[in-house]
Amino acid sequence: MAARAGNRSSRTTRATTRRCVATRANCWKVAFAFRLHANVRAHERGTGPEIWEQSAGKVDVFVDFAGSGGTFTGTARFLRSQNPVIRCYLLEPATAAVLAGQAVTNASHKIQGGGYSMADLPLLDRSLITDYLSVTDEEAIAGARLLALEESIFGGFSSGAHLAAAVRLLRDREPGATIAFLICDSGLKYLSTDLFSDAIAK
């Protein structure tokens, strides 16, 4: 069942899942990514070192769209261990920037893979956050299309959000910086959405 983690439908789904796991024999244990510390370790041991190696240690900024918080925490923790002055920005949807202390005006934003309107993310280490950023649906869509057109990188909504935030930082507070972000998934599963459907029709 697909549901956003911050709304009532999602909370009901999680509660039902936990009840089924607790009461049914031979039921698989649920790997709840929002509390699974292996999530953080995977990025601290894998993603962070890969970024550091691929940039030859020259990365200045890391930007990540808030999902479970595990990717941000693990990656930022490793990068800061190599260079304590690396700036790490946490990105949220403009209409659901709860981690930045903003009111949710629309939890049903289009940026899939995060922005769940959850103010409490157990895996998120806020001490690593330099600042909070937000992007609109339109900025994320434009960013994803730009990645495809200019760099032949076929990513999804959050990848476009990453690019939009990085470009804004380069134009404003981080001119000349080397900014790292992730391409989290392929655009293939979004072909029927408004991320690419109208572009394909043209």
Task: Render pLDDT for 35-74 as a digit per residue (tens, 0 to 9).
Answer: 888 999 999 999 999 999 999 999 999 999 999 999 999 9
Domain ranges of the chain: 1-30, 36-201
How much is the average pLDDT of 126-142? 96
**CA–CA distance, 19 with 168 (Å, rounded to integer):** 44
Report which residue type is found at 19: R
List, in sequence order, every residue forming a beta bridge with 186; answer none if it has no partner: 155
**CA–CA distance, 172 with 187 (Å, rounded to integer):** 28
pLDDT confidence bin for 13, thresholds 50/70/90: low
Average pLDDT in the chain: 87
Q: What is the pTM of this model?
A: 0.82
Instruction: Output the CA–CA distances (angstroms, integers) from residue 158 to 13, 37, 68, 80, 190, in the order listed.
Output: 24, 22, 13, 23, 12
Report which residue type is found at 112: Q
Does domain 36-201 bear CATH number 3.40.50.1100? yes
Q: Is 6's pLDDT higher than 70?
A: no
> What is the structure's pLDDT at 15?
76
> What is the structure's pLDDT at 89?
98
> Based on the number of CB atoms within 10 Å of its own CB, is 23 exposed (0-12), middle (13-18) or buried (19 or more)?
exposed
